[in-house]
Structure 1
């Protein structure tokens, strides 16, 4: 690997579901990502801070503070920072339309790409039936999810000792459970439909911790993934094409740091 890794600069970077304030947050991985990636605009697409967990038990290590400081420092250096809250940081919806520390807080926003296409940027929890109509079930699901993440932690400590790469048990299980797969598909279809209803070319969202980039439902659907399991981000290149960056993939990190050129994801539709 070269002694001076390449820093990559994008027109926009989209991050969601970081869940600062939880033990599952991959803060060190995110700090590493932010070190080598910059953008004119950074969208924080909800669930950046996990208010649900912090209300139950305070957990805020230095690495989580470092993430906040790193993002604010990028803002001071000229990046536009836009925050669209989700269900875990819904307390910020009391401050829609305001700025704090150079960060704009909005419910949703339209992002225009370099080639003139328009994308709805929104967390997506408003279109989750469980979150909207059965909050007790959402809280129960959150507890089960955290339990699975705790199992992830122990499993990956063992994998590191064996010289193996990071692997998410909870993400694997989620994609193997039929109901979860059906939920993901329905969520994607609903968000694509909302983009069509608003007359835009696509949607960029988070919420379900499942990175994606496709046009299966007739509208360009992009999901940023998360920084708990998959450690993914979405970036817009200066030509308007999009890329999913998978920072938990060691081979991907090495390729980016050595050459500045990752695997290209699907080009924008």
Structure 2
């Protein structure tokens, strides 16, 4: 879904809001009511009442952005143990619908949609070069192949659906994370994007909280209490309707980059997911 244009942020998108630290008193809206959560206090497959595995490649057997993996619904690639969700990328030959790839991973859609709120994900990121973990949302009207909601909320496609990348990390710089926004201008239909980045030390060895606060005025992304980027939520943007949350690791592609020959597997470990309104 994130096209090659995403790389445009290297030139114009990195206009983040610095390393300011914000407290709850500084924020525009207080989101106090917990409306969706998974604390992963169970073992086995991710809770099927809360998560949908998106496994059908939308581009004739390929995923977007030249990614190298197949996503699966196997417990090998996503499972819960010892209080955390593990999304595991594995080097292995795997075929699906006549398309064979050399890597597998998992892509989970929340079976929950929301307009406005605070998303909080406490996680450790994979450390291996070539891995591209992400915490992000899509408008529920995207009707992307294999997504949980289908065309139930419309089918405007991407980028008119809007996309909010709460956290992404490149495969070549494991000391930073990115927040980025992609959308289609509702008036001109033109593609737009903006975003920023921040330094995150020990992202693979320590938990950090990756969050978003979204209301009718703005959308703010944070790592712990550091503001990464703030996007004004104006009427020309598709950020005033339902979105759903996505968790995944891609391998290679535009933000994954080169995968080392000795790559075997790596894990995106998630302690909890919480959405407040």
Which band: TM-score by shorter chain?
under 0.3
Q: TM-score, normalised by structure 1?
A: 0.26
Greater per-residue helix proportion: 1
Please identify which structure carries the higher strand content: 2
Give the TM-score of the pair, scaled to structure 2.
0.25
